[in-house]
Amino acid sequence: MDAFWTEPDYDDHELVQLVRDPKRGLTAIIAVHSSHLGPGAGGTRVWHYGEPKDAMRDALRLSRGMSYKNAMAGLPMGGGKAVILADQDRNKTEAMLHAFAESVEALGGKYVTAADVGITEGDIVTMSAKTSYVSGLPLDNGSTAGGDPGPYTALGIYQGIKAAARHRLGKNSLDGVHIAIQGTGSVGSGVARLAAKDGARLTLADINQTGASALADELGGQAVVPDAILATECDVLSPNALGAILNDESIAALNTQIVAGGANNQLARSHHGEQLAERGILYAPDYVINAGGIISVAMEYLCRSEGTPCLIEDVEARIGQIPQRLEEIWTESGSSGLPSDVIADRMAQKLIGR
Ligand code: NAD
């Protein structure tokens, strides 16, 4: 068997830890990809994996992704991620979460955790009983930032869409710009509401069709069946549901000038960024445009560590840098002829000293 460190998803990760506590029902992997810019920060995912090696692959890929995302967001944080290998029903218990949190605590701050798929704000509170290296805790009042990252992620995406409309369509406002949104959950609905205020024309889709229709009615948009959204004729396609939705087939069917949305890992394979560019579609690299949530979570953590209040205006100011970062990527992409996802990766790698 090849050595672990020659595995394709292993990218000189600084720390990969397997945590087992059978009595408390925990098997987890914690991965820190890079601490070049600060402690490895990224959420914990609870997932049922077919094979343990799939969990390892997820931890390795996701933690590297967090290094890139945090670096491009200008945060003094490295990249980390944890996965808890759950049963088929993804059951969680307090004992399991405590065991996990104790293992995070034992790393002494090398890894800072937060919510990801399968972890609720309540779970974060449970973990906080055993570790201080956790963020995304409920807010005491409305005057400080932090808590649920969804609205901050949506804010960054909305601003990124405005930047894309300026760059590609020459428009200074979203008034009349047609945005097709896949997924009307926490992030997608937030993007829809912000864009509607600017007069954008909205087409929405979600597998929860009742929810998508209700939101479309509220905002004066239109709802379509989930299968129709990717090929909808629009100015901006905003994927806010699943990853890996941009593949050979879906890219060939796209009828948009811009793809700018919050779903993680939208490109099914690395060459799909090039395919988008060949079709003349402006792509906002997902981990750059969707960084609003981690900006909030990281700044909440840093403020708590320093004992200072985390001000909403400071978080919003950092999120306000997302459009500029995208503009730099697109400008460099235009002058070099390289796809925007490749440019973003190169910029991120430089920032983390790789
Ligand atoms: P969510 O669960 O609140 O919403 C996702 C929505 O997508 C749900 O309403 C779901 O029904 C819908 N959906 C699932 N499959 C679909 C399909 N095939 N077609 C149409 N709709 C479908 O999740 P969220 O927090 O809004 O996150 C959305 C995406 O953004 C995810 O990919 C997530 O990883 C990413 N993201 C979220 C955050 C955050 O702060 N919440 C931060 C960064 C990235």
pLDDT in tens, 292-312: 999 999 999 999 999 998 999
Does one domain contain both 68 and 166?
Answer: no
Q: Where are the beta strands (DSSP E) in 76-168?
A: 78-85, 111-112
Query: Under DSSP, is residue 120 helix (H, G, I), strand (E, B) or coil?
Result: coil
Distance between CA 240 and CA 255 in Å, rounded?
17
Does one domain contain both 90 and 154?
Answer: no
Does one domain contain both 80 and 159?
Answer: no
Does one domain contain both 282 and 198?
Answer: yes
Does one domain contain both 158 and 274?
Answer: yes
Nearest CA to ligand 1 atom 25: 186
In a domain, 143, yes or no: no
Nearest-10 Cα torsion for 344, 347, 353, 354: 50
In a domain, 305, yes or no: no
In a domain, 308, yes or no: no
Residue type, 215: L
Whether 236 and 258 have beta carbons less than 8 Å apart is answered as: yes
For residue 65, give the nearest of 82, 44, 42 by alpha carbon.
Answer: 42
- Is the distance from the beta carbon of residue 290 to the nearest atom of ligand 1 less than 6 Å? yes
pLDDT at 139: 81
Q: Taking the CA atoms of the chain, what radius of gyration do you get in angstroms?
A: 20
As given in the structure block, the two tokens for residue 44 are 């914990």
CA of 243 to the centre of ligand 1 (A): 9
Distance between CA 157 and CA 204 in Å, rounded?
16
Phi, psi of 53 (to 5 degrees): -65, -25
pLDDT at 1: 52
Does one domain contain both 51 and 172?
Answer: no
Does one domain contain both 113 and 172?
Answer: no
In a domain, 303, yes or no: no
In a domain, 27, yes or no: yes
* Contact partners, residue 95, CB within 8 Å, separation at least 6: 24, 25
Instruction: Specify the CATH number for the domain of residue 37.
Output: 3.40.50.10860
pLDDT at 349: 98
Does one domain contain both 100 and 49?
Answer: yes
Does one domain contain both 16 and 119?
Answer: yes
In a domain, 340, yes or no: yes
pLDDT at 2: 67
CA of 182 to the centre of ligand 1 (A): 9
In a domain, 31, yes or no: yes
- Is the distance from the beta carbon of residue 208 to the nearest atom of ligand 1 less than 6 Å? yes
Nearest CA to ligand 1 atom 14: 241
In a domain, 255, yes or no: yes
pLDDT at 148: 86
How do residues 204-213 score in pLDDT, each as one tens digit? 999 999 999 9
- Is the distance from the beta carbon of residue 265 to the nearest atom of ligand 1 less than 6 Å? no
Query: Under DSSP, is residue 201 helix (H, G, I), strand (E, B) or coil?
Result: strand
Whether 47 and 86 have beta carbons less than 8 Å apart is answered as: yes
- Is the distance from the beta carbon of residue 261 to the nearest atom of ligand 1 less than 6 Å? no
Instruction: Specify the CATH number for the domain of residue 204.
Output: 3.40.50.720
As given in the structure block, the two tokens for residue 56 are 């390892």
- Backbone torsion region of residue 243, taken as left when φ is above 0, otherwise alpha when ψ lies between -120 and 50, otherwise beta: beta
Structural domain count of the chain: 2
10-residue stretch averages of pLDDT, the chain, 354 residues long: 80 97 98 98 96 95 97 98 96 98 98 95 96 91 82 98 98 98 97 98 98 98 98 98 95 98 94 98 98 96 93 96 98 98 98 96
* Ordered DSSP codes for 242-292: -SS-B-HHHHHH-B-SEE----SS-BSSTTHHHHHHHTT-EE--HHHHTTH
Task: Please report the atom of ligand 1 found closest to the CA of residue 148.
Answer: 40
Does one domain contain both 116 and 175?
Answer: no
pLDDT at 201: 98
Instruction: Give the range of the structural domain holding residue 236, as residue numbers without chain letter.
Output: 150-289+323-351
Does one domain contain both 183 and 110?
Answer: no
Position of tokens 């405590």? 98
Does one domain contain both 206 and 336?
Answer: yes
Distance between CA 66 and CA 113 in Å, rounded?
11
